């Protein structure tokens, strides 16, 4: 799987499942240089088809998630506190920039975001972790059953307990979590994408879902006049942009595993094929193709800015920092002369930390 929007993480857990975690094309008559300045909504996959509308309604109205009949459970305070402490440690170690960005949040929001982060990482590791060779339908089914237990107030371990507590404090729906697991199912048997429609769906499953989980925790600014639905749409746009950026960054690495997360029809428009990727030769055609792919990812970030600015002020910093950091990855690909076949674009530590004050300035509208 092309790396998710969460940093790499290898963890061992004392549980039966050693845990962790593919989508629309713009119709074109010629090369994809016709990408518009504003992308069509979901590129042919509507929010209704993704059932995101229902999620937004339930979460924005602060209704109970899923079946609407869950009752708050009583968790041992010491056990729960240790769960949150461990979630914090994982986030602090493996998502340093994002973790620093959470420091402006209220304590309750911090803890909730850490709990969601850890569940997503554990889910991600089902297909990308050291035990991913053992992942199959049975393992994924068991992981989804365990997710449903969490939402029913039956956590299995400390990490689960932290998420159970979080979903009772915030109006978080179960669907985005189930959708992320669906992304894993795709990643176990789908390694080519015929069009951007297919790729978009994958990006929604593995990254857009994280945005849907997080918005209820981060909150929307009370002074915002932007429709709630648009804030959620922009949040999904951010997830899509980040996942597209990961895909472009990791082309060479994914190809070494016979995985190509690029629209096959668009490759063909530039006279490219899988063999050109496997040959690892950066040609003028490849550069032209990558220029268009990078432009698309940037447009998603542009669309995401509206939503980032409408979040509760205390929650904006990590979102803006992540958005700016991922834009820098795209810049790095260009700086490498579009060679993402033999090189992996990265943002140095110094530049990462420079993103923090810049993100802070954006967050507080300086």
Adjacent-strand bridge partners of 178 = none
The residues, any chain, with a CB within 8 Å of residue 361's CB and separated by 6 or more, are none
47-57+75-365 is a CATH 1.10.600.10 domain? yes
Judge residue 38's burial from the number of C-beta atoms within 10 Å of its C-beta, 0-12 exposed, 13-18 middle, 19 or more buried.
Answer: exposed
- Under a CB-based contact definition with an 8 Å cutoff, are residues 90 and 117 in contact? yes
pTM of the model: 0.85
Adjacent-strand bridge partners of 220 = 311
What is the full per-residue pLDDT of the chain (366 aa) written as tens digits?
A: 555 555 433 343 333 332 332 333 333 334 554 555 555 544 556 666 777 888 888 887 654 444 444 556 778 899 999 999 999 999 999 888 788 888 888 999 999 999 999 999 999 999 887 877 888 899 999 999 999 999 999 999 999 999 999 999 999 999 999 999 999 999 998 999 999 999 999 999 999 999 999 999 999 999 999 999 899 999 999 999 999 999 999 999 999 999 999 999 999 999 999 999 999 999 999 999 999 999 999 999 999 998 999 999 989 988 998 899 999 999 999 999 999 999 999 887 777 767 767 676 777 774
Question: Taking the C-alpha atoms of 103, 107, 109 and 114 in order, what is their torsion angle to the nearest 10 degrees?
Answer: 70
Q: How high is the pLDDT of residue 101?
A: 81
Rounded CA-CA distance 42/329 in Å is 23
Q: How high is the pLDDT of residue 158?
A: 95
Q: How high is the pLDDT of residue 1?
A: 55
- Under a CB-based contact definition with an 8 Å cutoff, are residues 49 and 128 in contact? no
Rounded CA-CA distance 214/195 in Å is 28
Q: Across the chain, which distance is largest between two alpha carbons, in Å?
A: 62
Q: How high is the pLDDT of residue 55?
A: 86
The residues, any chain, with a CB within 8 Å of residue 289's CB and separated by 6 or more, are 266, 267, 270, 272
How far is CA 324 from its chain centroid? 15
Q: Map out the domains of the chain as residue ranges.
A: 47-57+75-365
Rounded CA-CA distance 22/274 in Å is 17
Residue with tokens 């994914």: 254
Rounded CA-CA distance 363/155 in Å is 35
Q: How high is the pLDDT of residue 351?
A: 74
Q: How high is the pLDDT of residue 4?
A: 52
The candidate with the shortest Cα–Cα distance to 225, out of 305, 310, 320, is 310
Adjacent-strand bridge partners of 193 = 263
Rounded CA-CA distance 223/342 in Å is 48
């Amino acid at each position: 799987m092309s790396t998710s929007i969460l940093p790499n993480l290898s963890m061992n857990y004392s549980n039966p499942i050693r845990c962790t975690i593919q989508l629309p094309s713009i119709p074109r008559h010629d090369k994809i240089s016709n990408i518009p300045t504003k992308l069509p909504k979901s590129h042919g996959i509507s929010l209704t088809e993704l059932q995101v509308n229902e999620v937004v309604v339930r979460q924005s109205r602060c209704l109970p998630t899923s079946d609407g009949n869950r009752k708050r459970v009583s968790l041992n305070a010491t056990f729960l506190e240790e769960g949150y402490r461990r979630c914090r440690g994982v986030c602090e170690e493996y998502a340093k920039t994002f973790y620093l960005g959470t420091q402006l949040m209220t304590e309750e929001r911090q803890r909730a975001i850490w709990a969601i982060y850890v569940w997503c990482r554990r889910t991600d590791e089902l297909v990308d972790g050291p035990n991913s060779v053992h992942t199959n339908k049975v393992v994924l089914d068991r992981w989804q059953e365990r997710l449903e237990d969490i939402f029913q107030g039956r956590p299995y371990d400390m990490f689960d307990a932290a998420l159970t507590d979080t979903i009772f404090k915030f109006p978080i729906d179960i669907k985005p979590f189930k959708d992320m697991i669906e992304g894993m199912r795709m990643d176990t048997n789908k390694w080519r994408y015929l069009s951007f429609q297919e790729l978009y769906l994958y990006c929604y499953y593995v990254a857009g879902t994280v945005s849907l989980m997080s918005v209820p925790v981060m909150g929307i600014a009370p002074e915002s006049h932007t429709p709630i639905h648009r804030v959620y749409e922009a949040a999904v746009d951010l997830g899509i942009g980040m996942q597209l950026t990961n895909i472009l960054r990791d082309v060479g690495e994914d190809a070494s595993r016979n995985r190509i997360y690029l629209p096959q029809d668009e490759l063909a428009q530039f006279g490219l094929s899988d063999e050109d990727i496997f040959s690892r030769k950066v040609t003028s055609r490849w550069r032209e193709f990558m220029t268009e792919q990078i432009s698309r990812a940037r447009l998603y970030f542009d669309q995401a800015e509206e939503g980032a600015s409408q979040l509760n002020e205390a929650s904006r910093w990590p979102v803006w920092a992540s958005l700016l950091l991922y834009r820098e990855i795209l810049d790095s690909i260009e700086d490498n002369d579009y060679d993402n076949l033999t090189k992996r674009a990265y943002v140095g530590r110094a530049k990462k930390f420079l993103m923090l004050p810049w993100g802070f300035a954006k967050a507080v509208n300086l």
